[in-house]
Amino acid sequence: MAIKETVLNVLEDLTGTDVSQDLDSNLFDTGLLDSMGTVQLLLQLQSELGIEVPVSEFERSEWDTPNKIIAKVKEMKD
Spatial contact of 68 and 24, defined as CB atoms under 8 Å apart: no
Kindly state the average pLDDT of the residues 6-10: 97
Range of the domain at 53: 3-77
CATH code of the domain containing 36: 1.10.1200.10
Kindly state the average pLDDT of the residues 34-61: 90
Q: What pLDDT was estimated at residue 65?
A: 97
Give me the helices (H) in 1-78, please. Answer: 3-15, 35-49, 66-77
Q: What pLDDT was estimated at residue 5?
A: 96
Q: How far is CA 31 from CA 24, 47, 50, in A?
A: 14, 24, 27
The count of domains in the chain is: 1
